[in-house]
Homo-oligomer: A and B are copies of this chain.
Amino acid sequence: MKFGFFGGANSKRGGDNADTSDYNRVIDIVTEADRLGYHGIFMVEHHFTGIGQVSATLNMLSYLAARTRNIRLGTAVTVLPWHNPVLVAEQAATVDLLSGGRLDFGVGKGYRDNEFEGFTIPKEEADERYQESLSVILKAFTSDQRFSHHGKYWQFENIIVEPPTVQKPHPPIWIAAGSDDSIRAVAKSGHNVMFDQFANIARTKERLDIWKEACAECGRQYDPMQVTVARGIFITRTQQEYETALKTRKEGLAKFVSNFGNLPGQEGKSPKPESYSDAIFEDESGALIGDPARIIQQINVLKDIGFEYIIMTMPQKVETVRIFAEEIMPRVQSLAIAAE
């Protein structure tokens, strides 16, 4: 069983001095996770948030490449419609080169209305732009020969995209998928899949079953390391802490839906926002929540379903990275070894 983290840093504008404390928190989390043997991290990318969410994610990963040795460094996700596909391929290849082949390149279409508005890109073009960009990026990663591209949104003439990636044929592409159809489409594409931190355990199992079935259908061997599932992590010591954690999670989910109209990976798919009930937000089976013994049980449920790689929300405190590594990881690992 492998573990990692996903999340991002914040640095809000305003005032005479830039506030780097939260960037430093995330740098500390990632360097500590690297030291303690976690498998990878995925970092968000957002623009124009007003709360300073990390925007230049591949730059942050370049920095982290220098501060870490083994941990994989991912984006979750680079929203392709915002980027010139050739420039973003150069940036991603550079992270892969500088990290010695540790880039996990998560890509997406975008879902936040204020980002579409900010970049003045119509949301209706998102899918088409995403598809065109991804095909240019894959060509850029894999072609040692010059090529041209004459697409609907992008034109390039006689280009060779440098530097080369370390991972061949290219860094793994990770795609978030929530609905049955999108899961099948990712399986068919040959890329890796990320499942979200919102779905409860029943739906999460269903998603993995669909993935396995779709892999079988298109002759793709099931590799558990090509799948990751995100989970909120709340290590609590008392009943009161546990109840506070449940409340925090519920409020976080409701706020997300209220801010963005939907949960990512759910666009145009079930469940639709109008069908969200309190029950969805209160269902704790979508998180790792409770004392270490309880969390080990929850991880074992995911393991029994067939997951081998869980990425957890980045904690507020580096201490949580250590507690999880000391009190939870060894016991999950030994259970796994005992069962083999």
Contacts and interface: CB of A to CB of B under 8 A. Distances in A.
Interface stretch (A112-120, A221-229, A307-315): A112-120
Given A62-B63, A97-B20, A97-B23, A164 B13 contact: yes
A83 to B, nearest CB: 7
Contact of A18 (B20, B117, B146, B166): B166
Contact of A56 (B13, B94, B157): B94
Interface in A54-70: 54-56, 58-60, 62-67
Interface stretch (A44-52, A127-135, A252-260): A44-52
Contact of A120 (B13, B56, B155): B155
A282 interface: no
Interface stretch (A84-92, A264-272, A328-336): A84-92
Given A55-B90, A58-B59, A63-B63, A13 B97 contact: no
B50 A160 contact: yes
- How many of these chains are in the complex? 2
A38 interface: no
A105 to B, nearest CB: 13
A90 B157 contact: no
A54 B120 contact: no
Interface residues of A, number: 61
A201 interface: no
Contact of A59 (B50, B98, B155): B98
B157 A117 contact: yes
For A62, A65, A82, the residue with the greatest tally of chain B CB atoms inside 10 Å of its CB is A62
A166 B13 CA distance: 10
A323 interface: no
A233 interface: no
A325 to B, nearest CB: 23
Given A47-B159, A59-B59, A165-B18, A144 B91 contact: no
A67 to B, nearest CB: 5
Interface string A159-185: 111111110100000000000000000
Contacts of A67: 66
B13 A163 contact: yes
B49 A162 contact: yes
A274 interface: no
A162 B55 contact: yes
Contacts of A62: 59-60, 62-63
A11 interface: yes
Closest 7 CB pairs of A and B: A66-B66, A62-B62, A11-B163, A56-B94, A55-B90, A59-B62, A18-B164
Given A60-B62, A83-B87, A84-B84, 8 more contacts: A14-B144, A18-B166, A19-B164, A54-B94, A56-B94, A62-B63, A63-B66, A66-B66
12 contacts: A12-B162, A12-B164, A13-B144, A13-B160, A18-B164, A18-B166, A20-B166, A47-B159, A55-B163, A114-B158, A120-B155, A120-B156
